[in-house]
Amino acid sequence: MNEEREDCFSIADNLQFVRGRIKTACERSGRRPEDVTLIAVSKLKPFSDILEAGAAGAEDFGENYVQELTQKIEENNSLVESRPIRWHMIGHLQKNKVKYLIGRAALIHSVDSVPLAEQIEKEAAKREQVMRILLEVNIAGEESKWGFDPDGVIRAAQEIASFSHVRVLGLMTSAPFTEEPETNRVYFRGLNSLAKELAAKELLSVTDPDFRGPVLSMGMTGDFEVAVEEGATMVRVGTAIFGRRNYE
Ligand SMILES: *Cc1c(COP(=O)(O)O)cnc(C)c1O
């Protein structure tokens, strides 16, 4: 597995390797690599790693913790030549932290309740901004995971559709941890059909200038190729790019 690659590979090497694997997965499934955005998940890694990945062409970074995210944004902004980075909030989000993300995060992947979406609406309205979001689905019904259940996400999207400062672009999931990526195929397929259902019910913000079809944010180091084969438009890859994290 890729996680086992030795430390002698640089971040640039790893990025190239991951991009190659995405491309191959696209070829296998008749998709175009440019339709899959690679999000480099830099949580718990130093800003210098982001610069290294940025120099190798990465423009989308995923972070899990609001404070770490805002610190890294500050660091980037303080550079003489700041990098053109799109920051993705992918971790569980508390309502009281929402205000720090408005105008900073390009996309919040981890919206897992209607009250959280309401808070985003409120804070975005206050700043006269719109916030693009994904709804997180606990697709395998795991005890330990955040996210709507598949029925709940449709009801939630129906409520959120009336918000004027929140744009729902699609769905996100974290499939179960597994040594055998094939076992997650059924979950990725499930998320894909849920997104189609949301689109058919006209619950996605198709008028948003960033909308290019439903976003499916799914696939991590252990299973991103299967996710791409099942239609992922964003994959969130940390370990295969930056190496192991010291703690979670
Ligand atoms: C950490 C994390 C990732 C990246 O995980 P890897 O297995 O290191 O690729 C992706 N998505 C979420 C929500 C995460 O928390």
Both tokens of 141, joined, read: 């019904």
* pLDDT at residue 7 tops 80: no
- CA 220–ligand 1 middle distance (angstroms): 6
Atom of ligand 1 nearest to the CA of 222: 7
Residue 81 in any domain: the answer is yes
Q: What is the pLDDT of residues 132-161, one digit of tens each?
A: 999 999 999 999 899 999 999 999 999 999
Residue 5 in any domain: the answer is no
Q: Which segments of 53-188 are extended strands (E)? A: 60-63, 86-89, 107-111, 131-136, 166-172
Residue pair 158/193 in contact (Cβ under 8 Å)? The answer is: no
Ligand 1 neighbours (beta carbon < 6 A): 41, 43, 64, 90-91, 174, 220-222, 236-239
* Residue 133 β-bridge partners: 108, 168
* Atom 7, ligand 1: residue with shortest CA distance: 221
Residue 6 in any domain: the answer is no
Residue pair 161/203 in contact (Cβ under 8 Å)? The answer is: yes
We report the CATH number of the domain holding residue 186 as 3.20.20.10
Number of domains in the chain: 1
Residue 188 in any domain: the answer is yes
* pLDDT at residue 116 tops 50: yes
Determine what percent of the chain falls in helix, strand and coil, rounding each to the nearest 5: 40, 15, 40
Residue 114 in any domain: the answer is yes
Average pLDDT, the chain: 95
pTM of the model: 0.96
Q: What is the pLDDT of residues 209-237, one digit of tens each?
A: 989 999 999 999 999 999 999 999 999 99
At 1 the pLDDT is: 47
- CA 44–ligand 1 middle distance (angstroms): 11
At 4 the pLDDT is: 54
Residue 1 in any domain: the answer is no
At 192 the pLDDT is: 98
Q: pLDDT band for 59, please (50, 70, 90 cuts).
A: very high
Cβ partners under 8 Å of residue 101, min gap 6: 66, 69, 89, 93, 108, 131
Atom of ligand 1 nearest to the CA of 224: 9
- Which domain covers residue 176, as residue numbers? 11-242
- CA 128–ligand 1 middle distance (angstroms): 31
Q: Note the maximum CA span of the chain.
A: 51
* pLDDT at residue 98 tops 70: yes
Distances in Å between the Cα of 210 and the Cα atoms of 40, 84, 133, 207, 224 are: 20, 17, 11, 8, 23
Q: Which of 220, 221, 241, 245 to mutate to test the pocket of ligand 1 (most atoms within 8 A of CB)?
A: 220
